[in-house]
Amino acid sequence: MNAAKRLEIFRRLHEDNPNPQTELAYSSPFELLIAVILSAQATDVGVNKATARLYPVANTPEAIYALGVDGLSEYIKTIGLYNSKAKNVIETCRLLIEQHGSQVPQTREALEALPGVGRKTANVVLNTAFRQPTMAVDTHIFRVANRTNIAPGKNVLEVERKLVKFVPKDYLLDAHHWLILHGRYVCQARRPRCGSCRIEDLCEYKHKTSDD
C-alpha cells in the first residue's frame, strides 16, 4: 500500500471520529493501567462492569493493595482468569508504592517490569494515558493491518513497527483507537462489513479476493 492511500485512510477515520477514545472506563493513569491488565482475554464491557464496582471502593495503589488478593478477587471474579489477574494487580500495586511513589511510570521498560504488563499493555498506557506515539497491537489491529494491507506482518511486533513507521505522523497518536474500533465494529473477523466500510475503496483486501 502506498503512502497516499494510507494518508487518505486515516484522514477519513479522523473525519468520522475526530477524538477517538478507549472503551475502557477510567479517570486516572492508574485506573487505566489496572483496567488494561484486567482486559486480557476479556471484553471491555466486562472489565467496565467489574471496575464500576471496584473503583468507588479502591482506585489507588494503596487502596487496592489493602484489599489483598482475596478481597480484590471478589470485585473481579466475573472476569476470566481473575485469580491470576488479582495476584498480578496486587503485586503491581506493591511495586508502584515501593518503587514509583504510587505513580504509573511513563516508560515502556518500567511498565513491562510490572506483573501482568506486557508490551501491548504498556503501549496502551503510554499512548492513552500519556499521549506517547506508541502502537498497541491487539487481535483487531493485527487483523485490520494485515487485511487492508496498511501494515502487513507475520507477528504483532512486526505489525507494530510497521504501523509506527507507516501511519502518517499527524495521525499516529490516535491511530490505535481508530484501528481497534474499526476492527471491532466494521472489519470484523468472520464477517467483515465491507459494504458499510468507510475505507472500502482504499482497502486492498477486497481486490485480492475478487482476483481469486
CA–CA distance, 201 with 171 (Å, rounded to integer) = 20
Query: What was the pLDDT predicted at 163?
Result: 96
- Is residue 16 among the annotated active site residues? no
* C-alpha cell of residue 42: 476479556
Q: What is the pLDDT along the chain (212 residues), one digit of tens a residue?
A: 899 999 999 999 999 999 999 999 999 999 999 999 999 889 999 999 999 999 999 999 999 999 999 999 999 999 988 999 999 999 999 999 999 999 999 999 999 999 999 999 999 999 999 999 999 999 999 999 999 999 999 999 999 999 999 999 999 999 999 999 999 999 999 999 999 999 999 999 864 443 33
- Is residue 138 among the annotated active site residues? yes
Please indicate, yes or no, whether residues 109 and 144 belong to a single structural domain of this protein.
no
Query: Of 128, 147, 167, which one is at a domain's C-terminal end?
Result: 128
CA–CA distance, 49 with 24 (Å, rounded to integer) = 10
Angle at 139 between CA 111 and CA 156, to 5 degrees: 60
Catalytic residue among 44, 85, 138, 170: 138
CB neighbour burial string for 15-38, b if at least 16 within 10 angstroms, e if fewer: eeeeebebebebeebbbbbbbbbb
Please indicate, yes or no, whether residues 16 and 47 belong to a single structural domain of this protein.
no
Catalytic residue among 70, 85, 87, 120: 120
Which residue range(s) make up the domain with 172?
Answer: 3-20+134-210
Nearest Cα residue to 131 out of 210, 53, 21: 21
**Model-level pTM greater than 0.85?**
yes
